[in-house]
Amino acid sequence: MSRLVVLFAVMLLAPAAAVAQATVEAEQDAGDDVADQEIGARIGMRMGGRTTPGGFHLGGVFLYRLNDELWSDSLVAFAVGGGGAECFRDRGDNVLCDHGQLDGVAGGVHSGIRWVQPSKQGFVPYVRGTVGIELVNYSDDDVRGIAVPVVLGGGVRARVADRVSVSGEADLHIGFARLNRDMGVEPQAALIVKLGVDFAL
Amino acid sequence: MLILVFVVGCGVDADVSRTVGARCDTKDDCNERCLVDADDYPGGICSVSCMDVRDCPGDTACVDDEGGVCLFVCDSDADCEFMGPGWRCDSRDARPDSAGEVKVCRG
């Protein structure tokens, strides 16, 4: 648990700490053709299960360049799935859920770091790590709660126009959620595969 | 009188689910129907309607109670302990009538 707290703190503070350095470097890179800020959209599929929502993934991204290789990566994301009531009380009166991979609804914000390979040609690979907070809801079971996921992922992107890039990403989403109905803390795990488009500001 | 005995997977190892076995207060707690505490099913039990054993999932049998419901089969009271206090192994008329009796967990 303490490691998770430290990781959470590092991932939240690292972008802020690097902003000052990025400001200086941005001035030095005045002639660079890489923008310092980008916004983007993401669509894809999120596969969860049990008490982790999945379904259609929709997200909005804000990227802020910290230096040639690091970007601050912030995301607002939603997962909208289907499914019906899949929770029940076992004989010990504990609530158990066995939702499908594409069931439930989730929405939240994530913030972290993206490392981009220092190359400006063709397909550029990157890896990213974020920490977020999400609301989780399975309406048919009256199950809801708050999740704290760590997201580790990566992808490739390619510039397709002067200020437009497209990307393909895959994220592993792991963490825990505090749920109602006396379910307590439940693990969270999901895989997200998505396509994106980013616009340089 | 024919007594059906299901040797494999008696109630002790039975899988409890929203279909059969979960505790319930109303049918909303189950996939199909809830046999409530007040009707001698302590804590309530989710079940499904049946005409014969082929309608029943897993380690359950079709008994001629409540219009025909699936309940966990058993050999002795010990097989029903997983259901909680108040449950015992009891012989009931099976469905269809030609199936004789079957031992199931009930309150």
Position B12 scores a pLDDT of 38
Closest Cβ–Cβ partner in A85, A86, A91 for B82: A91
Check B18 against A86: CB less than 8 A apart.
yes
> Quick one: how far is CA B3 from the chain centroid?
16
Check A91 against B30: CB less than 8 A apart.
no
Give the SS3 label for residue B12.
helix
Position A22 scores a pLDDT of 40
Gyration radius from chain B CA atoms: 12
Q: What pTM was computed for the model?
A: 0.76
Residue A86 in contact with partner chain B when CB distance is under 8 A: yes
Residue B55 CB coordination number (10 Å): 15
A180–chain B nearest CA distance, Å: 16
- Tell me which chain A residues have a C-beta less than 8 angstroms from the C-beta of B46: 88
- For domain A2-200, the CATH architecture is Beta Barrel (2.40)
Beta strand B69-72 with A55-65 is: unpaired
Task: Match 């990307």 to its residue by tokens.
Answer: A167
Q: A161-201, pLDDT tens digit by residue?
A: 989 999 999 999 999 999 999 999 999 999 999 999 999 99
Please give the helix or strand (H or E) that residue A2 lies within, else none: helix A2-28
Position A35 scores a pLDDT of 83
Position B6 scores a pLDDT of 34
* Euclidean distance between CA atoms A176 and B67, whole angstroms: 44
Position B37 scores a pLDDT of 87
Burial A79-112 (b: 16+ CB within 10 A, else e): bbbebebbbbbebeeebbbebbbbbbbbbbebbb
Q: Are A72 and A64 in contact (CB under 8 A)?
A: yes
Residue A201 CB coordination number (10 Å): 12
pLDDT band at B15 (very low <50, low <70, confident <90, very high): confident
Q: Are A113 and A128 in contact (CB under 8 A)?
A: yes
Residue A90 in contact with partner chain B when CB distance is under 8 A: yes
Task: Match 């302590």 to its residue by tokens.
Answer: B42
- Residue of B16, B19, B26 to mutate for A, most A C-beta atoms under 10 A: B16
pLDDT band at B97 (very low <50, low <70, confident <90, very high): confident
Q: Which residue of A has its CA nearest to B85?
A: A91
Instruction: ipTM value, please give it.
Output: 0.80
Residue partners of A127: CB distance under 8 A and separation at least 6: A114, A115, A152, A153, A154
Rounded to whole angstroms, what are the CA distances from A36 to A23, A31, A119? 10, 12, 15
Positions in chain A short of pLDDT 50: 1-2, 4-31
Position A121 scores a pLDDT of 76
Cα A181–B28–A134 angle (5° rounding)?
Answer: 35
Residues in B lying within 8 Å of A, measured between beta carbons: 16-18, 21-24, 28-30, 43, 46, 82-84
Position B5 scores a pLDDT of 37
Check B29 against A86: CB less than 8 A apart.
no
- Tell me which chain A residues have a C-beta less than 8 angstroms from the C-beta of B22: 88-91
CA dihedral B40, B45, B49, B54 (to 10 degrees): -110
Residue A94 in contact with partner chain B when CB distance is under 8 A: no
Position A20 scores a pLDDT of 36
Gyration radius from chain A CA atoms: 19
Position B14 scores a pLDDT of 52
* Euclidean distance between CA atoms A62 and A198, whole angstroms: 9
List the one residue out of A129, A135, A109 whose CA is nearest residue A172: A129
Q: B27-84, pLDDT tens digit by residue?
A: 999 999 999 988 789 999 999 999 999 999 989 999 999 999 999 999 999 999 999 9
Beta strand A95-97 with A105-116 is: unpaired
Q: Are A73 and A61 in contact (CB under 8 A)?
A: yes
Position B40 scores a pLDDT of 85
Position B98 scores a pLDDT of 83
